[in-house]
Amino acid sequence: MALARVARLPASAALPYALRRDTTGAAAREQALAAFRGAHRTTTVAKVLATASRVATRKRPVAALNGVAASDWFCFDAKDDATEKWYPQGLSCGSDAGLSSPSAFAVSWYWKPDPTAEPERGIRVSFLNVATLRYAHVLLVEPDADGNPTPINVHAGGLVWYKNLLYVPDTTGGLRIFDLRDLSEGGLFGYSFMLPQSDMWRCDPALGARFSFASLDRSADPVLLVSGEYLTSGTGRVVRWALAADGTLAADADGTAVPVDAYNSPGQKIQGAVSYKGRWYFSQSGGTGANDRLLTALPGQAVQERKYPKGPEDLTVWRGKNTVWTVAEKPRGRVIFGVPL
């Protein structure tokens, strides 16, 4: 399929992506969250990064890159690289969060076991300390009525780490919010750390919006949160919302967060997208042979194609290094890698 030029869409194209904070049962959810907080000792991302026990490798020769001119890359340990129970999807970095030291990445994974053999474990986020190459998994959970942690069964196809918040897309529901000030020492399924869901912004499911991935545009003022849809045919949409100073979605007087704009993506099977200084970047799966594609374009101009490893997912920009990064999801080819903007 030929690539389409990226163009701004009419305002009506963004309306299905209007979000409202989920207030249904809010008092009960807050009570459950309070019970969770009371039962678990809190910690910080800094402590997780300082005490992480898993070890990544940097710039190790990796066949999965298959000739891609990466500026830098990081490989998970052998167990996480090979597992077919967890698949990495979303990617954000300390540059998004405003973290000055240490440099870090955050990666979301979804659980994909044999459902008849093992219980659902939901989603997790790995925090990687770039300086030490140590990383740790944090299980994302939703407290039940008694404050007990329960798994969250969504795809977690994207991740945004901004200030104290993590945004995780829920494909047909909207955006789930996790406040890192609730990061806790854990115990569910043997995890050392857990992070409870604290909020959610919901879309109108009847309007057909899909939240397949997410990223952050920190070159914009105000900062913009980006999301878009994965489609197996045709071109989907990418939309952007303004963020308030505290990192939450900027909403109008009615409590609705309406996207500031919407664009068409350049083709089908878009796995991630990010905008930066007016240019769009898209990861696209379904390429021929051993490679997929990174697509870049200024609105209205011809799309440029770059070779990418198989299985690219969400995108993030590391501003200080002027690089755009993704994570490859395929077992035995899992790598976080960056290429020049």
Phi, psi at 333, each rounded to 5°: -150, 25
**Distances, alpha carbon 275 to alpha carbons 220, 263, 323, in Å:** 9, 11, 12
The pTM of the full predicted model, rounded to 2 decimals, is 0.97
Using a 10 angstrom Cβ sphere, with 0-12 exposed, 13-18 middle and 19 or more buried, the burial of residue 237 is: buried
| Confidence check: pLDDT of 47 > 90 | yes
Q: Is the pLDDT of residue 2 over 90?
A: no
Q: Tell me the pLDDT tens digit for each residue of 232-279.
A: 999 999 999 999 999 999 999 889 999 999 999 999 999 999 999 999
Q: Output the pLDDT for position 118.
A: 86
SS3 content of the chain, % helix, strand, coil (to 5): 15, 45, 40
Q: Domain coordinates of the chain in residue numbers?
A: 11-340
Using CA atoms of 178, 251, 313, 220 in order, give the dihedral in degrees to the nearest 10. Answer: -120
8 Å CB contact between 149 and 36: yes
Residue pair 269/311 in contact (Cβ under 8 Å)? The answer is no
How confident is the model over 157-213, as pLDDT tens digits?
A: 999 999 999 999 999 999 999 999 999 998 899 999 999 999 999 999 999 999 999
Q: In the CATH hierarchy, which fold is given to the domain comprising 11-340?
A: Tachylectin-2; Chain A (2.115.10)
Beta strands in 160-255 (DSSP E): 160-162, 165-170, 174-179, 184-185, 193-202, 213-217, 224-228, 237-242
Report the alpha-carbon distance of residue 331 to residue 311 in Å, rounded. Answer: 10
Least confident of 66-75, 107-116, 134-143: 107-116
How confident is the model over 279-292, as pLDDT tens digits?
999 999 998 788 99
CA-CA distance, 200 to 216, in Å (whole number)? 18
Region 141-149 average pLDDT: 96
